[in-house]
Amino acid sequence: MEHMSAAANAPLSIGDTVELDVTGIAHGGVSVARHEGRVVFVADAIPGERVRARVTDAKKKSFARAAVVEVLDASPHRREHVWAEASVDRDLDDRAGGAEFGHIDLAHQRALKGEVLVDAMQRFGGVELAPEDDDPESMRELLTELVEPTEGDEERNGLGYRTRVRLHVDPETGAVGPYAARSRRVISVASLPLATEGINQVAPLHEPMPGVTTVDLIDPAADDPRMLLTLAGEKERAGAGDAVHELVEDRGFLVRAGGFWQVHREAPAVLFTAVRDAVSDLVADGRFDPAAGNLDLYGGAGLLAAAMAEAVGPGLKVTTVEAEPGATDDAAENLSELVGALALTSKVDRHLAELLKSAAPVRDRLRRGTVVLDPPRSGAGGGVMGQLIELSPANVVYVACDPVALARDTKTLREAGYELTELRAFDIFPHTHHFESLAVFQRA
C-alpha cells in the first residue's frame, strides 16, 4: 500500500514517505538526516545522498527511523548491493539483515567506521582524534587510514569471510534463512555472500527444516564445515560441545563448535597479532612484568593469552577468566604448554571482587600486572571498570567490538589517571557496520 507523503510540520508516522538530505553517519549502521528539525536515522543510505525514505519507527519525540525506498541523488560510493536480497530494490520489509553496508564501496565503509570511532571517542571518551588544523584533507587521510583493512578482503571485495553464521527457521513454513533487517521474519535467500564457500556448501537454504528453530553454520580452519541445529522446545544445540580445530597462522587452537570464535577467517590472526605487538611494545618499554598478576578477561578459548605469551615468552604468568566452562576447558588445553597459565571459569565481576579481597602482596602483584580484556558487545560496563580501577594494573589492553562502549570505558580510565597510548581499529566485518578496536592504556 502506498502512503501519502508527510504534510509539512505534521509529526512523522510509520509508513510516511519523506525526501531527505542525508548528512552524516551514526553508530549502528544508519545515516543521519533531518526532517523539520527532527533527527531521522536512515537505513540503506550513504551520507551525501538525497533519498526518498519510508518511516519505520516514529515512537520517540526526538528522532524517527526510516529506510531508503529510492535513491534520488546517489553518492559516488554507492555500489550494487553485494547481496541481492538486501538491496534497496526490494520492499523494505523483505530485505535480509546482516549486510547493512553492502551497498557502499569497501574503502568508504572503512572511512565511515573511522568517523564513528572518532565521533564516539570525542563525545563519550573525551579524546580528540581529529587533526587540530581542521583541514578536511587531513581529516580524510585520518579516516581512510584509521580502520585497517584485513588481508585478502580487497581481492574478494570483502566477501566469503564469515566462518560463523546463524540462520533461523520460519515456524510456519520451515524455510531457513536470515532474519529481515528490521524484524524477526525469516527471509529466503539464494546464497550467503559474506560467508565462506564451505558454509555456502552446507547451508540448507532450499530445504525446509520443520521442528528446528536455529541453524548455526561453522567452518573451522582445520576441520570440515558443520551445522548445529536447535530443535523446537530445546535450548541446547546438537553438537555444540564437539571440539573443532582452528588455526591462527601455524598455531592450533581447540574450540567447542558452539563456543565463541571470531567470525572473520582472518580475525583471530589480526587480533592475536595486534595484542602480541601491543604487549611487545610494553615489554620493550620495560612496562611489562611477566611474573606479575597478568589477566586475560573474557578470555574465551585463550586466544589473547596466547598472544601475550608469544610477546613475553614462556616465563609469562597469566590467568584467563571466562564465564563458559567449555571455553575455559579449551583455554586450559590451548595454553597447556605455558606453565604459568591458569584458566578459570567465573564471571569477570565475581573474579575481580575476589581479587580485590586479596592480601597486600597479591594486590601488589596485580598492580604490577597487565590486563587484556575483550568483553562482549555491551562492553565491560561501569561495575567492572570500577573494579579494574581499584585493582589499578600497570597497563590495560582493551579489545572492543563496540566503539561507544570503548569510548565510555576510555573516559572512566582516563579520569582514573590512565593515559591512552595507542588506538587501532580493524575492519574484520566488511559489509556490516561493525569493526573491532584495540586501545592501550598505561597507568600514569
Ligand X SMILES: C[S@@+](CC[C@H](N)C(=O)[O-])C[C@H]1O[C@@H](n2cnc3c(N)ncnc32)[C@H](O)[C@@H]1O
Binding residues: 262, 298, 322, 374
Choosing from 292, 401, 405, 420, which is the catalytic residue? Answer: 401
Are the C-beta atoms of residues 26 and 32 closer than 8 Å to each other? Answer: yes
- Which residues make beta-bridge pairs with 441? 396, 420
- Over the window 18 to 57, marking each residue x when it contacts ligand X by CB under 6 A and - when it does not, the resulting string is ----------------------------------------
Q: By CB under 6 A, which span of 46-54, 125-133, 300-308, 333-341 interacts with ligand X?
A: 300-308
- Over the window 229 to 268, marking each residue x when it contacts ligand X by CB under 6 A and - when it does not, the resulting string is -------------------------------x-x------
Q: How far is the CB of 302 from ligand X (least distance, A)?
A: 8
- Pick the closer one to ligand X by CB: 181 or 308: 308
Buried b (16+ CB within 10 A) or exposed e, 229-247: bbeeeeeebebbeeebebe
Binder among 208, 211, 314, 376 for ligand X (CB under 6 A): 376
State the Cα–Cα distance between residues 33 and 291, nearest whole angstrom.
Answer: 53
384: phi then psi, degrees, rounded to nearest 5: -65, -40
Q: How far is the CB of 324 from ligand X (least distance, A)?
A: 4
Beta strands per DSSP E along 105-206: 147-148, 164-169, 176-177
| Binding site residue list for S-adenosyl-L-methionine | 262, 298, 322, 374
Q: How far is the CB of 384 from ligand X (least distance, A)?
A: 8
Q: Which amino acid is at 275?
A: V
Binder among 100, 246, 374, 402 for ligand X (CB under 6 A): 374
CA 64 vs CA 16, 109, 278: distances in Å: 11, 24, 41
Q: Does 441 bind ligand X (CB under 6 A)?
A: no
- Over the window 280 to 299, marking each residue x when it contacts ligand X by CB under 6 A and - when it does not, the resulting string is ------------------xx
Q: How many C-beta atoms surround the C-beta of residue 389 within 10 A?
A: 17
Are the C-beta atoms of residues 378 and 419 closer than 8 Å to each other? Answer: no
Q: Does 325 bind ligand X (CB under 6 A)?
A: no
Question: Grid coordinates standing for 102?
Answer: 553492502
| Residue indicated by cell numbers 587521510 | 141
Binder among 57, 170, 324, 422 for ligand X (CB under 6 A): 324
Question: Grid coordinates standing for 153?
Answer: 578482503
Q: How far is the CB of 321 from ligand X (least distance, A)?
A: 6
Q: How far is the CB of 304 from ligand X (least distance, A)?
A: 5
State the Cα–Cα distance between residues 108 and 191, nearest whole angstrom.
Answer: 25
Residues 326-365 that bind ligand X (CB under 6 A): 327, 347-348
Q: How far is the CB of 25 from ligand X (least distance, A)?
A: 24
Q: Closest residue to ligand X, Cβ-based?
A: 300
Residues 304-323 that bind ligand X (CB under 6 A): 304, 321-323
Spell out the residues 6+ positions from residue 361 whose beta carbon is closer than 8 angstroms to its own. Answer: none
State the Cα–Cα distance between residues 301 and 305, nearest whole angstrom.
Answer: 9
Q: How far is the CB of 243 from ligand X (least distance, A)?
A: 15
Q: Could you report how far apart the first and last alpha carbons of the chain are, in Å?
A: 62
Binder among 29, 160, 178, 300 for ligand X (CB under 6 A): 300
Element (H, E) at 218: strand 212-218
| Residue indicated by cell numbers 572492543 | 400
Judge whether 47 counts as a catalytic residue.
no
Spell out the residues 6+ positions from residue 51 whose beta carbon is closer than 8 angstroms to its own. Answer: 19, 20, 22, 33, 42, 45, 68, 69, 70, 71, 72, 73
List contacts with ligand X (CB under 6 A): 260, 262, 271, 298-301, 303-304, 321-324, 327, 347-348, 374, 376
Q: Please give the positions annotated as active site.
A: 401
